[in-house]
């Protein structure tokens, strides 16, 4: 199976002036199939159509009852995509699951943002991820699973040991820290690049 081309970005507010324009330029320039965006800072008052990117379907999960945070996913309109909602979905976790399909793809992708100061215990998040993976394995056993986003202080080894997923990012993504990561259930990506994106500040 040829996996979809992924792009992972902590936008630190996609709501800032021209941020969506910069994002669109990146995704079109890198021929991205699925863009995973963390720290969107979307609120209910932000209409989705204002932040659309031509050629992509936008999915979003805003942070509940607090400012900041939030995740979104832009999926190429060439692909069939639908939200996948786990049975035990919990609003405290900033996670968005989307199923992406084509003749070559059958993928469940999760956009995740684990903030520096979460309102939950880290072990609870890991247990929730593990539960979601069990549901996917039961219902969609042949699907490629991708977990990607900004994990901040969440230990890479803890994610791997708890979930059995394979970590793909092994170099710093911001400064000297590897915060933005991608995990998969099968080794299907040959090239993983950390690029300097346009200025979103």
Three-state secondary-structure class, residue 127: helix
Of 154, 155, 181, 159, nearest to 170 (Cα)?
A: 181
The answer on pLDDT for 68 being more than 80 is yes
In percent, the amount of the chain with pLDDT more than 90 equals: 71
pLDDT in tens, 94-132: 999 999 998 887 999 999 999 999 999 999 999 999 999
pLDDT in tens, 169-180: 887 677 777 789
**Partners of residue 150 on adjacent β-strands:** 113, 180
**Partners of residue 110 on adjacent β-strands:** 97, 147
Sorting pLDDT into bands at 50, 70 and 90, what band is 81? very high
Question: For the purposes of burial, counting CB atoms within 10 Å of the CB of 138, is it exposed (0-12), middle (13-18) or buried (19 or more)?
Answer: exposed
**Partners of residue 59 on adjacent β-strands:** 73
Domains of the chain: 6-184 (3.60.10.10)
Three-state secondary-structure class, residue 32: coil
The answer on pLDDT for 77 being more than 70 is yes
């Amino acid at each position: 199976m040829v996996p979809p081309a992924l792009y992972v970005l902590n936008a630190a507010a996609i709501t800032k002036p021209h941020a969506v324009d910069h994002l669109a330029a990146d995704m079109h320039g890198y021929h991205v199939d699925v863009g995973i965006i963390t720290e969107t800072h979307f609120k209910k008052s932000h209409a989705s159509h204002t932040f659309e990117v031509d050629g992509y379907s936008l999915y979003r999960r805003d942070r509940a009852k607090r400012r900041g945070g939030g995740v979104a996913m832009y999926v190429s309109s060439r692909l069939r995509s639908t939200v996948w909602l786990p049975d035990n979905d919990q609003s405290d976790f900033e996670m968005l699951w989307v199923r992406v399909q084509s003749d070559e793809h059958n993928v469940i992708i999760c956009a995740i943002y684990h903030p520096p100061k979460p309102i939950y215990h880290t072990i609870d998040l890991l247990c929730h991820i593990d539960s979601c993976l069990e549901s996917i394995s039961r219902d969609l056993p042949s699907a490629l699973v991708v977990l990607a986003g900004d994990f901040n202080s969440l230990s890479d080894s803890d994610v791997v040991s708890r979930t059995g997923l394979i970590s793909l990012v092994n170099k710093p993504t911001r400064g000297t820290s590897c915060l933005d990561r991608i995990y998969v259930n099968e080794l299907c990506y040959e090239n993983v690049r950390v690029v300097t994106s346009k200025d979103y500040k």
